[in-house]
Amino acid sequence: MAQVTKYSKKADYAADAARLKSESAVSYIDENKAVVYDGVNCLVEKQSAYEGDLVVFDKVEARIRFVKARTLVKAQLAATLVPVGVVFKRLGATLLCMSITQYSERWGHPFEAMLSGIANAAAGSLTVKTTTGANTDAISVNWAAGSTLASIADKLTAAFATAAQEPNRKWTATATDNGIILSHNWYISAKITEVTGAVLAAQDDVDYQTTYAYIGTTEYVRRKNGANSYFAGFHLAKFVEYYSVNGTVPTSNIPLGSSTIVNKDSFENLDFCADLRAKYATYQDYLDGEHMAQFPSNYGTMLRDGKEYTELLAARLGTIVRGAQEPRYPAAHRAHTYGVSVEGFTTGLEAGAWHLPSPVEMYHMINTRRLNAADTKEDLVNDTLVKMGYPTCYGHGYYPWTIGECSSSNAFVFNGSSGGLGNSSKYDSSSVRPVTAL
């Protein structure tokens, strides 16, 4: 700490011309028992860190410390302070921190099959029979002598895109040294049932995009009104913006406790919403009181532990088709293997210390965030992220995965269009923002 000063009164603090303005400083004002963080890049310990503070590894002290958000100036941050994260919530003595980096990954790995023995030196043809759920198609391609495996794979991808059954259009083909890998990304279980003109050398025995990872039945999130659903509000401003226009226009009475979300005009004008208006003065009050997520909650996906289930899913690797230890759950694996290393030191935040956020951690991460870059409301987390040039975490347009599993083919994600914890197909690519607890 460059300077720590005690003042009896606020007036004494304000009148102190000698107080440091360009270095780290802390002032205590006895009159109102206030601690004020001043100057530039004010360093504090864990007990004084809060939302928006930059987590750094101090190479001089060889430990984790924190730069107060309001004093952060990137250009003057000492080279001995290595950024490792941003605090997004204090829970008692625990600090929840998000990574300064993010990625894009699928929740579940594509279903794959390997074709080998393709005789491309001479002209040839290949037919692949695909079955996705109850949908079957036979895809055929021809090639001239001397064609490359890559060109044959391109032909297969183009042929799949014109399949009669939509689920079979989701197959793609990629050439490898050993043949052609067929990949399927969809919410219906897939398989290759017959091949002519090549050998079906290997095929996954599990479709990780359509199979339960750790639950055995659909899991929900509970709203404040007691309704259990596959989505609930997490970011009130975005939730109101979206459902004001996109909510339901009811055709019968909507009682309190209903899972139906009505639009703003209906809430304010229709007789079907009289029960709602009798309790809630405004449309925002209605959404907040009825359809935002119940928190704290002792139900459904909100009970899932981010670290526990990230470690469980990250450990699942497969070797069937590619002959390599590829992750079966890429989002969890990416979060688990994320880490911040500082040469010559052990930070405690290397790979293995981070995880995909649980739905509860996602609630804390997103609930008080700024709506977007044009929003002027106070948001120290995004202020720090912007100052440092890191990916932001806004309530609009952001779709980060949680570890929460909704069904055999869907997982919970924050939906930056609606402002709710919703669910997305496991084959989708969405943001991976690792988190950790200090």
Check whether residue 197 and residue 117 sit in a common domain.
yes
| pLDDT surpassing 70 at residue 1 | no
Q: By three-state DSSP, how is residue 241 classified? A: helix
Share the mean pLDDT of the chain.
Answer: 94
Residue-level pLDDT at 8: 76
Q: By three-state DSSP, how is residue 310 classified? A: helix
Q: Which two tokens stand for residue 298?
A: 């002792």
Q: Which two tokens stand for residue 161?
A: 């895109």
**Residues 346-373, mean pLDDT to the nearest whole number:** 97
| pLDDT surpassing 70 at residue 394 | yes
Q: What is the pLDDT of residues 258-303, one digit of tens each?
A: 999 999 999 999 999 999 999 999 999 999 999 999 999 999 999 9
Residue 268 near residue 257, CB atoms below 8 Å: no
Q: By three-state DSSP, how is residue 328 classified? A: coil
| pLDDT surpassing 90 at residue 364 | yes
Residue 181 near residue 174, CB atoms below 8 Å: yes
Residue-level pLDDT at 24: 74
Q: By three-state DSSP, how is residue 401 classified? A: strand
Q: What does pTM read for this prediction?
A: 0.92
State the Cα–Cα distance between residues 267 and 248, nearest whole angstrom. 10
Residue 263 near residue 245, CB atoms below 8 Å: yes
Q: Is 295 a member of any domain?
A: no
Q: What is the pLDDT of residues 183-204, one digit of tens each?
A: 999 999 999 999 999 999 999 9
Q: Is 335 a member of any domain?
A: no
| pLDDT surpassing 90 at residue 7 | no
Q: By three-state DSSP, how is residue 152 classified? A: helix
- Sort 400 into a burial class: Cβ within 10 Å, 0-12 / 13-18 / 19+: buried
Lowest mean pLDDT among 304-308, 325-329, 351-355, 375-379: 375-379
Q: How many domains does the chain have?
A: 3
Phi, psi for residue 13 in degrees, rounded to 5: -60, -45
DSSP strand pairing (179-184 vs 111-116): antiparallel
| pLDDT surpassing 70 at residue 28 | no
State the Cα–Cα distance between residues 85 and 70, nearest whole angstrom. 16
Check whether residue 174 and residue 124 sit in a common domain.
yes
DSSP strand pairing (3-7 vs 24-29): parallel
Check whether residue 142 and residue 191 sit in a common domain.
yes
| pLDDT surpassing 80 at residue 141 | yes
| pLDDT surpassing 60 at residue 368 | yes
DSSP string, 244-304: HHHSB--SS---TT-S--B-HHHHHH-GGGHHHHHH-SSHHHHHHHHTBBPSS--SGGGG-
The residue out of 36, 70, 98 marking a domain boundary is 98
**Residues 197-220, mean pLDDT to the nearest whole number:** 96
Lowest mean pLDDT among 244-253, 306-315, 316-325, 416-425: 316-325
Q: What is the pLDDT of residues 97-138, one digit of tens each?
A: 999 999 999 999 999 999 999 988 899 999 999 999 999 999
The residue out of 75, 98, 121 marking a domain boundary is 98
Between 27 and 378, where is the model more confident? 378
Number of CB atoms found within 10 A of residue 145's CB: 10
Residue-level pLDDT at 5: 74
Q: pLDDT grade, residue 26 (50/70/90)?
A: confident
Residue 88 near residue 97, CB atoms below 8 Å: yes
Check whether residue 80 and residue 146 sit in a common domain.
no
Q: Is 349 a member of any domain?
A: no
Residue 32 near residue 322, CB atoms below 8 Å: no
Q: Which of 268, 422, 270, 252 has the alpha carbon at shortest distance from 260?
A: 252
Residue-level pLDDT at 173: 98
Q: What percentage of the chain reaches a pLDDT higher than 90?
A: 87
Q: Which of 431, 427, 436 has the alpha carbon at shortest distance from 207?
A: 427
Beta bridge mates, 183: 112, 172
Lowest mean pLDDT among 17-21, 206-210, 301-305, 395-399: 17-21
Q: Is 382 a member of any domain?
A: no
Range of the structural domain that residue 24 is part of:
3-98
Q: Which two tokens stand for residue 187?
A: 């919410």
Beta strands in 62-134 (DSSP E): 63-67, 81-91, 94-98, 103-106, 111-116, 124-132
Sign of the C-alpha dihedral computed for residues 258, 259, 264 and 269 taken in this order? negative
Q: What is the CA radius of gyration of the chain?
A: 27
Q: Which of 399, 379, 426 has the alpha carbon at shortest distance from 107?
A: 426
Q: What is the dihedral of CA 366, 372, 377, 382, to 10 degrees?
A: 60
Check whether residue 166 and residue 240 sit in a common domain.
no
The residue out of 290, 309, 336 marking a domain boundary is 290
Q: Is 38 a member of any domain?
A: yes
Looking at residue 66, its amino acid is F
Helix (H) or strand (E) run with residue 27 in it: strand 24-29
Q: Is 345 a member of any domain?
A: no
Q: What is the pLDDT of residues 146-195, one digit of tens each?
A: 999 999 999 999 999 999 999 999 999 999 988 999 999 999 999 999 99
Counting every residue written for the chain, the total comes to 438
Q: Which of 136, 112, 139 has the alpha carbon at shortest distance from 127?
A: 139
Check whether residue 82 and residue 128 sit in a common domain.
no
Check whether residue 191 and residue 126 sit in a common domain.
yes
Phi, psi for residue 242 in degrees, rounded to 5: -70, -50
Q: Could you give the angle at which helices 306-314 and 330-337 cross, rounded to 10 degrees?
A: 110
State the Cα–Cα distance between residues 62 and 349, nearest whole angstrom. 13
Q: Is 139 a member of any domain?
A: yes
Check whether residue 27 and residue 79 sit in a common domain.
yes
Q: pLDDT grade, residue 6 (50/70/90)?
A: confident
Q: pLDDT grade, residue 58 (50/70/90)?
A: very high
Residue-level pLDDT at 30: 67
Check whether residue 25 and residue 53 sit in a common domain.
yes
